[in-house]
C-alpha cells in the first residue's frame, strides 16, 4: 500500500529523533511526512493521565541545558519546573543529603557519602578524559563509598543498568551533562516535550505503522524507530543490548515526606534504584491533597519486594500505600557497552537514513541529535 505520493521525505517514527529530523528538514524547505505506528507522538517520552494523576511512561527528567533543547529553544514552551539537584541517600535508618552546595553547603562534608578528599578527587574525574576500553564502574570504583553509596545507585538509575555494563567514554558524557544540567519536568508531564516538538511538524500520520521501506513513496526515508524495529526494517544483523526498567506509581499518605529530592539506597537493600515524591516536585502530578510516589526498578521484582524496599528507604510502613500504576518498559534504553562507539554516518543506503538514541547517546539529547544529524546528512545528498 502506498501511503504517500509525490516528492517528500518520509520519517518513520515520531519519537524525539523523528520529530527532530522532521523539524530540521522542514526548516530547510523540504516536504516532510512523519509516520507513527501508535496513536500519539513521543515514543518513550509520554505521559498518561489516570484518575487525576499524571503518569510519565517511565520516570525521566528533562535537562533544560541539553544542547539540542537549547538549540530548539523549546523549554520556554513547557511550563518547566526545575528539579532539586540534591539527592537523598538512605543509609541504615536515616537519610543523608548530597548535592547542590549552594543549598546544602555542608552536605559534601558528610563522611557517610565519602571523604572530602574523595569528593575533591571526583571533580578531577569530571574534567579528565575517560579511558577507552574501561567501564564506568572500573573508572569510578576507586572513589570507595562515594561510588558504592552514591554514584553507583544514582548512575544505575541514569543508565538503567549497572555502571559496570557501560562504556567509560560515552558514560562520562552523560554523567557530565547530569552534573552541570538543569533537570526538571513540564507541569503537565514529560510528554509535553514531545507535544511541543510535534506542533512544529506540519504532517504527522498517527496509527500508521510502516512494515517495509517501500511502503512509503518518497525521495528519501529516515528510519527513526526504536532499534529493534529499525533492524527489522533494514535487515541490520547486530543491535545493541537494551536495558529494561519498571516505574511504579504509589499514592502515599500525606505527611510521609515533604522532600522534593530523589532518594536512592546507599546500601542496595532491594530492587528499587530510585524513588521520588514526584508530586512534591510538580504538584500537578497528583490531585490536590494526594502524594504520588514514582519509583524505578531495573531487575524483575514483585510488588511486595518493591513495597518492602520502599518502606526501608523512606523509613515508614508502606502497607497502606495504593499502587496506582506500573509501567514495564522492556526496551527502555540502548546500553553503550565497553568499546561501543557512536555511529559515524547516518546514511544506511541510497536515500535511506537512520536516527535514534541508539546511534548517539541513550538520552533525549542523544535522540534529538541523531535526528538532526540524519536530516542534515540527507540534505547534503
- Residues found near ligand FAD in the complex (CB under 6 A): 12-18, 35-38, 43-45, 58, 60-61, 209-210, 224-226, 229, 245, 329, 332-333, 356-357, 362-367
Q: Please, which residues have CB within 8 angstroms of residue 155's CB and are 6 or more apart in sequence?
A: 136, 163, 166, 171, 175
The least distance separating ligand FAD from the CB of residue 229, rounded to whole angstroms, comes to 4
The least distance separating ligand FAD from the CB of residue 29, rounded to whole angstroms, comes to 23
Question: Using CA atoms, how far apart are residues 243 and 260, in angstroms rounded to an integer?
Answer: 27
Kindly tell me which of 94 and 207 has the beta carbon lying closer to ligand FAD.
Answer: 207
In the three-class reduction of DSSP (H, G, I as helix; E, B as strand; rest coil), residue 279 is classed as helix
The least distance separating ligand FAD from the CB of residue 51, rounded to whole angstroms, comes to 21
Q: Please, which residues have CB within 8 angstroms of residue 7's CB and are 6 or more apart in sequence?
A: 31, 218, 219
Kindly tell me which of 226 and 265 has the beta carbon lying closer to ligand FAD.
Answer: 226
The least distance separating ligand FAD from the CB of residue 185, rounded to whole angstroms, comes to 10
Kindly tell me which of 150 and 242 has the beta carbon lying closer to ligand FAD.
Answer: 242
Q: What is the DSSP letter of 20?
A: H
Q: What is the DSSP letter of 151?
A: I
Q: 528533562: which residue's cell?
A: 62
The least distance separating ligand FAD from the CB of residue 271, rounded to whole angstroms, comes to 15
User: CB of 24 within 8 A of CB of 372?
Assistant: yes
The least distance separating ligand FAD from the CB of residue 230, rounded to whole angstroms, comes to 8
Where are the alpha helices (H) located in 151-238, listed in sequence order? 152-159, 168-179, 191-199, 227-234
The least distance separating ligand FAD from the CB of residue 278, rounded to whole angstroms, comes to 13
Kindly tell me which of 173 and 251 has the beta carbon lying closer to ligand FAD.
Answer: 173
Question: Using CA atoms, how far apart are residues 113 and 122, in angstroms rounded to an integer?
Answer: 12
Kindly tell me which of 146 and 242 has the beta carbon lying closer to ligand FAD.
Answer: 242
Cell of 257: 515526606
Question: Using CA atoms, how far apart are residues 224 and 19, in angstroms rounded to an integer?
Answer: 9
Kindly tell me which of 93 and 344 has the beta carbon lying closer to ligand FAD.
Answer: 344
Kindly tell me which of 333 and 373 has the beta carbon lying closer to ligand FAD.
Answer: 333
Kindly tell me which of 30 and 193 has the beta carbon lying closer to ligand FAD.
Answer: 193
CA distances to 119, 134, 148, 181 from 187, rounded to whole Å, are 34, 39, 33, 19
The least distance separating ligand FAD from the CB of residue 89, rounded to whole angstroms, comes to 19
Amino acid at each position: 500500500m502506498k501511503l504517500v505520493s509525490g516528492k517528500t521525505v518520509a520519517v518513520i517514527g515520531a519519537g524525539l529523533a523523528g520529530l527532530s529530523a522532521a523539524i530540521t528538514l522542514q526548516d530547510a524547505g523540504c516536504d516532510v511526512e512523519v509516520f507513527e505506528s501508535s496513536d500519539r507522538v513521543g515514543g518513550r517520552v509520554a505521559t498518561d493521565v489516570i484518575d487525576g494523576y499524571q503518569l510519565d511512561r517511565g520516570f525521566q527528567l528533562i535537562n533544560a541545558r541539553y544542547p539540542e533543547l537549547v538549540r530548539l529553544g523549546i523549554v520556554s514552551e513547557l511550563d518547566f519546573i526545575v528539579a532539586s539537584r540534591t539527592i537523598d541517600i538512605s543509609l541504615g535508618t536515616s537519610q543523608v543529603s548530597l548535592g547542590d552546595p549552594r543549598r546544602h553547603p555542608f552536605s559534601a562534608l558528610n563522611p557517610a557519602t565519602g571523604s572530602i578528599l574523595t569528593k575533591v578527587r571526583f571533580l578531577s574525574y569530571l574534567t579528565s578524559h575517560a579511558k577507552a576500553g574501561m567501564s564506568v564502574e572500573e573508572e569510578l570504583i576507586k572513589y570507595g563509598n562515594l561510588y558504592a553509596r552514591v554514584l553507583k545507585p544514582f548512575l544505575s538509575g541514569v543508565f538503567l543498568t549497572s555502571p559496570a555494563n557501560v562504556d567509560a567514554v560515552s558514560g562520562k558524557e552523560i554523567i557530565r551533562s547530569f552534573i552541570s544540567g538543569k533537570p526538571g519536568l513540564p507541569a503537565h508531564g514529560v510528554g509535553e516535550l514531545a507535544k511541543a516538538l510535534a506542533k512544529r511538524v506540519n504532517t504527522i500520520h498517527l496509527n500508521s505503522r510502516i512494515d517495509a521501506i517501500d511502503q512509503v513513496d518518497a525521495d528519501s526515508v529516515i528510519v527513526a524507530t526504536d532499534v529493534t524495529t529499525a533492524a527489522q526494517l533494514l535487515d541490520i544483523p547486530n543491535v545493541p543490548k537494551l536495558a529494561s526498567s519498571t516505574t511504579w506509581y504509589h499514592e502515599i499518605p500525606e505527611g510521609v515526606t515533604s522532600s522534593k529530592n530523589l532518594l536512592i539506597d546507599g546500601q542496595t537493600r532491594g530492587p528499587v534504584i530510585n524513588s521520588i515524591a514526584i508530586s512534591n516536585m510538580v504538584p500537578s502530578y497528583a490531585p490536590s491533597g494526594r502524594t504520588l510516589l514514582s519509583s524505578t526498578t531495573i531487575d524483575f521484582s514483585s510488588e511486595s519486594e518493591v513495597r518492602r524496599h520502599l518502606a526501608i528507604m523512606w523509613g515508614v510502613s508502606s502497607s497502606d500505600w495504593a499502587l496506582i500504576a506500573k509501567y514495564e518498559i522492556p526496551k527502555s534504553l540502548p546500553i553503550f557497552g565497553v568499546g561501543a562507539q557512536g555511529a559515524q554516518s547516518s546514511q544506511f543506503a541510497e536515500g535511506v537514513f537512520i536516527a535514534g538514541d541508539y546511534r548517539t547517546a541513550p538520552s533525549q539529547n542523544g535522540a534529538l541529535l541523531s535526528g538532526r544529524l540524519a536530516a542534515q546528512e540527507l540534505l547534503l545528498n
